[in-house]
């Protein structure tokens, strides 16, 4: 899924995503992921450019947060290859609890 100037909002109702991989990216649009507190699915969220990042869900305590010198910010959760990959350029990135 790809959007320009529009939002991407994903809400995981189950702690286990079993629908295969999910990849979505936005340019100049916000990306948000809402997750249950007992999430077992791995994810990678990435923002570039002028993208504020907010991570307020319980899983954020165990997530790896990486900010590098090239204006790339990453939030990684879980082990193994990420099942969910979301990214934005110049849009806010948010992880919140359901």
Within a 13 Å sphere around the CA of 94, how many CA atoms are in the beta-carbon half? 15
Q: How large is the greatest C-alpha to C-alpha distance in the chain, in angstroms?
A: 35
Percent residues over pLDDT 70 in the chain: 99
Per-residue confidence band for 46, with pLDDT thresholds at 50, 70 and 90:
very high
Domain that holds residue 25: 2-97
Torsion, Cα of 6, 33, 86, 61 (10° steps):
140
Burial label, 27 (beta-carbon count in 10 A; 0-12, 13-18, 19+): middle
Per-residue confidence band for 17, with pLDDT thresholds at 50, 70 and 90:
confident
User: Taking the model in full, what pTM does it have?
Assistant: 0.90
| The total number of structural domains that make up the chain | 1
- Which of the pair, 1 or 31, is modelled with greater confidence? 31
């Amino acid at each position: 899924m790809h959007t320009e100037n529009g939002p991407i909002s994903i809400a995981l109702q189950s702690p286990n995503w079993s629908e295969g991989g999910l990849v979505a990216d936005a340019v100049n649009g916000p990306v948000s992921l809402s997750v249950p507190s007992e999430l077992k699915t791995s994810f990678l969220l990435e923002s570039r450019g002028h993208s504020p990042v907010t991570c307020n869900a319980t899983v954020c305590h165990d997530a790896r947060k990486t900010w590098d010198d090239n204006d790339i910010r990453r939030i990684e959760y879980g082990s193994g290859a990420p099942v969910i990959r979301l990214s934005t350029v110049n849009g806010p990135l948010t992880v919140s609890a359901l």
